[in-house]
């Protein structure tokens, strides 16, 4: 009759310990990567460089730079559109960097799970 509540051959507890250590290591790596990403800045331009927007890795707007020639009181809508376009592109770059970080972390799993 099989024992109740145990793992046959005692193999599973060792694998579980290794799995937990790997998960903890990956969590530390993810936290370090996230902190590093948050210190980076991502810049994008629109209107041929007339509008430049910078966002942080935290996806917060940090800076907007406007060329004098793009500031036309008669065409505020164009300036607004250029700012939105540059901001969206900078945010997209930040998101791509975040996805790349997540991909590297997921790649670190390396099939180490027993299922």
Q: In this predicted model, what pLDDT tens digit does every residue of 49-106 receive, in sequence order?
A: 999 999 999 999 999 999 999 999 999 999 999 999 999 999 999 999 999 988 887 7
Neighbours of 40 (CB within 10 A): 13
Q: Which two tokens stand for residue 13?
A: 């507890």
**DSSP-assigned beta bridge partners for residue 55:** 42, 61
Contact between 98 and 37 (Cβ < 8 Å) = yes
Indicate the helix (H) or strand (E) that contains 12: helix 11-39
For 6-25, what is the mean pLDDT? 74
| Cα-trace Rg, the chain | 24
pLDDT: which is higher, 26 or 105: 26
Q: How far apart are CA 1 and CA 111, in angstroms?
A: 34
Residue 26: per-residue pLDDT: 86
């Amino acid at each position: 009759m099989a024992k109740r509540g145990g793992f046959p051959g005692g193999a599973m507890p060792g694998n579980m310990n290794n799995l937990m250590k790997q998960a903890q290591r990956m969590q530390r790596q993810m936290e370090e990567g996230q902190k590093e990403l948050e210190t980076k800045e991502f810049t994008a331009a629109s209107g041929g460089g007339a509008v430049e927007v910078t966002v942080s890795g935290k996806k917060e707007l940090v800076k907007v730079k406007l060329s004098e020639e793009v500031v036309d009181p008669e065409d505020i809508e164009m300036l607004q559109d250029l700012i939105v376009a540059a901001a969206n592109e900078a945010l997209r770059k930040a998101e791509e960097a975040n996805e790349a970080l997540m991909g590297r972390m997921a790649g670190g799993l390396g099939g180490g799970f027993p299922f």
